[in-house]
Structure 1
């Protein structure tokens, strides 16, 4: 199962490790874990904490047990995060495919990724969110930033792409061709 939440990426994996450490070692309910994430990491609201909890689970850094959520015994290494993105995050494989097709002359933007995946956006998300296109465009931008954080994507200057808005654009990164 692939999960939808894609929070804003941290500046480095040490920040991700700090988020993981905010999840208890002893299983806790969703509410307890969200409260800990909110309080210990200064997250703005419960929904953001819930998104982080789900995303950490997708990355393999948190496990869900019959008694609740618990911190996994795994460090957020680049390899683990790459695998978690590939295997656990909705539309990440499609983003990686689009990155492999991108070139420095025609890099991938968040708008292009959204357009390439718009038909894959779950129907219930479209029905319940009148602003679903903006929501999923922003998600595409965050996903590309996550891929760049772990070298699955390489950011190229938006101005070089001819995009008047200068929005970031990406090509496949150094780790995109590796299995780790």
Structure 2
């Protein structure tokens, strides 16, 4: 059982690349907005209820997938409303059942992030699309997060297309 844990800043291509990786590997994509959107249906982003509900969804997903030996791709945007201990718990849930979590970091410059925020595909998931709001969140420390475990691969999504990025990830996974 393997979790391909794709992380990076907003608009770095996590969903697009994650979808392509999942398709190539024949496993599901558990996009972080599945939990975010469910929690937003009841609570304001970042509130205690929102954080608890999102954490519960992620925890159950990781635990149940690991218990059933179900590999998947997970996308994650490191940001301050996530308790760093939750990431450790997600990793532990997989490893305790003999699975592995493979971290893949997507790299994207701040200028490219700001340019990509307005892409129509971002509206489909209710993602952050306003550059002014993005800068405000960034300036207030909203994207501060401790370093994640060392990635097996770093992919620069400014120099590679989503298809090339996904191909690089799949090739690296198949060599493990």
Confirm or deny a common fold (TM above 0.5): no
Higher relative contact order (CA 8 A, sep 6+): 2
Higher strand share: 2
TM-score (norm 1): 0.27
